[in-house]
Structure 1
Amino acid sequence: MYDSIRPGQIWLDTNGNRIHAHAGSLLHENGTYYWYGENKEHSKPGDNVWTWGIRCYSSTDLYNWTDLGLVIPPDLDDPESPLHPSQLIDRPHIVRNPRTGKYVCWLKIMGEGDQQLCTVLTADSLLGPYEIVRTGFSPLGMFAGDFDLVVDPVDGKGYYYFERVHSEMICADLTDDFTDVTGYYSTHFPQPHPPLVREAPAYFRRKGKHYLITSGTTWYYPNPSEVAVADTYHGPYTVIGNPHPQADTRTSYRSQISSVFKHPTQEDLYIALADRWLPQLSEEESDRDGPFHEHYSAKEAGRSVAPMPLPEPDTSVADYVWLPIRFDGETPVIEWQDEWRIEDVEPQ
């Protein structure tokens, strides 16, 4: 039994197995927390498995998690299915549509080069079964990378924040059923190329302000996070800096943000959820020696560079970095703690 959160340490479920809910999010319903994400248990080098379905866990205290199984299992029979383990499934996000009562899940499916497409599924229950209702599509005619889904708590309107691959961040209005975009959108943080392009958007709202925490684009290698604030969903967003002031080597504590969870009962408690994809790398190796950093340093210096070969990572041993967010006025600050308890976080 756990009685605290220990960022960066191996986290086991109540059966004694590693938790596999990567690039995930939390939902809270009827006094129970649900944590879902990419199941990476079989994602070992050479196994041709990127994600083995979407797994979900439940908890009543955010410390101890019970495995509820695969809410979206892999399709083992059809190699062309977006749910086949060899397909590059990333960043599941599930929201409940307050108008229809349906649970809507969006998946990013990476293809060749920049060709990243979306698959959308719906279900009557958070735990499924989920049915594919849309697949192989590019919202707004754009290749869509890492993303977040947001539901306004007052009017129930949906928004889709996504990285227009290797270009900029987009905020798009969702249709009433949350399975598509309306066509209305805004653009943010334009950049010429990775690693400057922002990805992994994690949205949250506090005291009328809209926040986005993003990472740079360096594959599984960590990089400096960035936080921006706006008065509306569509901005304009103002970048206010790196929320990880203690991360001297600019690696966001060797992690990449996945989402931000507002605690339902603990006053003004926001938790930054992040993945440590490459726990075998030290802080110094993550910052200084990653191939993305070397490759794009040369590119920015104007030197000719060849296409970059990427080693296959072992994400089956990826860990989690969950930390509370402190606020310095309106500025979010994520400080390192080796161990912390929900109950000990002071209201701000």
Structure 2
Amino acid sequence: MKEIIITCCLALTSLCCYSQTQTGGIRPGEIWPDDKGIHVNAHGGGMLYADGTYYWFGEFKSDTTSVALDGVTCYSSRDLVHWKNEGIAMPVMPVGSYSDIESGCILERPKVVYNKKTNKYVMWFHLELKGKGYAAARVGVAVSDKVTGPYRFVHSYRPCAGFWPENMPEEYRSLQVKADDFKEWWTPEWRKAVEEGLFVRRDMEGGQMSRDMTIYVDDDGKAYHIYSSEENLTLQIAELTDDYQSHTGRYIRIFPGGHNEAPAIFKKDGTYFMITSGCTGWAPNEARMFSAPSIWGPWKQHPNPCQGEDAELTFHSQSTFIFPIAGKKDAFVFMADRWTPKHPSDARYIWLPILFENGLPVLRWMDTWTPE
């Protein structure tokens, strides 16, 4: 009887593998086997297109914990359906190395961009130091001469230390209200203080908190770091240096106190669109959408872009990245993760094509779809 059960399980696994890769289509939420038949392990990921190939970078998750025990993985594909495992692009350092990226740290949402001036591939990621929970709130940077790595860790830090957001009014900068002045959070008085830069002033010297993040390279080659800051209460958009390895100090705040994370951004017809999530831990929530005529704003909020059943839960997922399909006009793919914190490596991927209605992005569930 045991042999029969095992045989049936293997048969069902084979069918799942077949349905995702052999049909030539993308099936959101299904097991997605790589070239070795193993579920792709690239969570919180991002996409880079280079020389006719897509490169998918993401967090390598173990079966039992979400801390980083291996590092950042890389997969390659020419059709967005069949993926080759390129291995660990950036390994974490051994236990006892005292590196910022020592095994056991929290390393999330890696994104890789190519710098034409330096001919380097630059990886950015959210980093929390080992054993300190989510207190560090840093961003990490690594570089490589090859797209698949290995990536060499450069540094980690909090962004824009010593700089004021350029859209923060002068009168807010000199306010004397401090975080310790509030015994309770979430009161009207506290919310007002957050909007007026309570945490910006607190973190002025050491740099702004940086958690969920993405990197966006604009048409002119300028790159931007978009991240959840100020205790996850406010998004910030910061300009990167020409080599994409640090910040210039120019940045803005987006919807102070709005409690947004998981930013994913793209541009269509000169308008910037950004999809985010609320902050509910590993549990899904309703997506938010914003648009602006410039990366520097002004940013305007729109209704949830998801439509249909489970739209209020973003189809049980959370945004991570949006990328264009090469060679196709106005064809963008929304990447999201369906987290499984009790079995992190089994987390599934929700990829959906972005549709447009009345000039705004729309996401509808599709059981299967093809890049064509």
Q: CA deviation at 1:137?
A: 3.8
2:237 is matched with 171
1:89 is matched with 107
Report the structure, 1 or 2, having the larger helix content: 2
Matches within 5 A, 1:1-150: 1-2=21-22, 3-40=24-61, 42-45=62-65, 49-78=67-96, 80-110=98-128, 111-140=132-161, 141-150=207-216
**Residues 1:207 and 2:236 are matched in the alignment:** no
Q: Describe the superposition over 1:317-345 as per-residue Cα deviations: whole angstroms up to 9, x where unpaired.
A: 100000000001221100000111112xx
1:156 is matched with 221
Q: Matches of 1:113 and 1:269 in 2, distance apart?
A: 36
Q: Describe the superposition over 1:69-102 as per-residue Cα deviations: whole angstroms up to 9, x where unpaired.
A: 0011121243632333310111111111122111
Matches within 5 A, 1:122-271: 122-140=143-161, 141-153=207-219, 155-164=220-229, 165-191=231-257, 197-248=259-310, 250-271=312-333
- Note the residue ranges of structure 1 that are not aligned, 5 or more in a row: 279-311, 344-348
Q: Matches of 2:311 and 2:141 in 1, distance apart?
A: 38
Whether the 8 Å CA contact 1:103–1:122 is kept in 2: the answer is: yes
**Residues 1:326 and 2:355 are matched in the alignment:** yes
Q: Matches of 1:227 and 1:55 in 2, distance apart?
A: 29
Q: Matches of 1:264 and 1:75 in 2, distance apart?
A: 35
Q: CA deviation at 1:219?
A: 1.4
Q: Matches of 1:320 and 1:119 in 2, distance apart?
A: 24
User: Do the aligned partners of residues 26 and 79 (structure 1) sit closer, same or farther apart at CA in structure 2, a change above 3 Å counting?
Assistant: same
Amino acid at match of 1:162: Y
Amino acid at match of 2:43: H
Q: CA deviation at 1:221?
A: 0.8
Q: Matches of 2:311 and 2:330 in 1, distance apart?
A: 29
Q: Matches of 1:114 and 1:249 in 2, distance apart?
A: 32
Q: How many residues align?
A: 302
User: Do the aligned partners of residues 247 and 190 (structure 1) sit closer, same or farther apart at CA in structure 2, a change above 3 Å counting?
Assistant: farther
1:315 is matched with 344
Using the size of structure 1 for normalisation, the TM-score is 0.83
1:291 is matched with none
Q: CA deviation at 1:33?
A: 1.2
Using the size of structure 2 for normalisation, the TM-score is 0.77
Q: Rg larger in 1 or in 2?
A: 2
Q: Matches of 2:240 and 2:69 in 1, distance apart?
A: 26
Whether the 8 Å CA contact 1:139–1:180 is kept in 2: the answer is: no
2:334 is matched with 272
Q: Describe the superposition over 1:108-140 as per-residue Cα deviations: whole angstroms up to 9, x where unpaired.
A: 112445431122111111112222221244443
Q: What is the SS of the residue equivalent to 1:200?
A: strand
Q: Matches of 1:177 and 1:197 in 2, distance apart?
A: 31
Whether the 8 Å CA contact 2:158–2:210 is kept in 1: the answer is: no
Whether the 8 Å CA contact 2:160–2:250 is kept in 1: the answer is: no
Q: Describe the superposition over 1:56-79 as per-residue Cα deviations: whole angstroms up to 9, x where unpaired.
A: 111111111010100111212436
- Note the residue ranges of structure 2 that are not aligned, 5 or more in a row: 1-20, 162-206
Q: Matches of 2:222 and 2:153 in 1, distance apart?
A: 22
Whether the 8 Å CA contact 1:82–1:89 is kept in 2: the answer is: no
User: Do the aligned partners of residues 166 and 137 (structure 1) sit closer, same or farther apart at CA in structure 2, a change above 3 Å counting?
Assistant: closer
2:176 is matched with none
Q: Matches of 1:126 and 1:266 in 2, distance apart?
A: 23
Q: Matches of 1:187 and 1:15 in 2, distance apart?
A: 44
2:3 is matched with none
Whether the 8 Å CA contact 1:276–1:321 is kept in 2: the answer is: yes
2:197 is matched with none
Q: Describe the superposition over 1:5-34 as per-residue Cα deviations: whole angstroms up to 9, x where unpaired.
A: 000111111110010111111111111111
User: Do the aligned partners of residues 43 and 80 (structure 1) sit closer, same or farther apart at CA in structure 2, a change above 3 Å counting?
Assistant: farther
Q: Describe the superposition over 1:203-230 as per-residue Cα deviations: whole angstroms up to 9, x where unpaired.
A: 1000100011001111111111111000
User: Do the aligned partners of residues 75 and 113 (structure 1) sit closer, same or farther apart at CA in structure 2, a change above 3 Å counting?
Assistant: closer
Q: Describe the superposition over 1:248-294 as per-residue Cα deviations: whole angstroms up to 9, x where unpaired.
A: 4621000001100101112221100011003xxxxxxxxxxxxxxxx
Higher mean displacement: 51-60 or 112-121: 112-121
Whether the 8 Å CA contact 1:122–1:133 is kept in 2: the answer is: yes
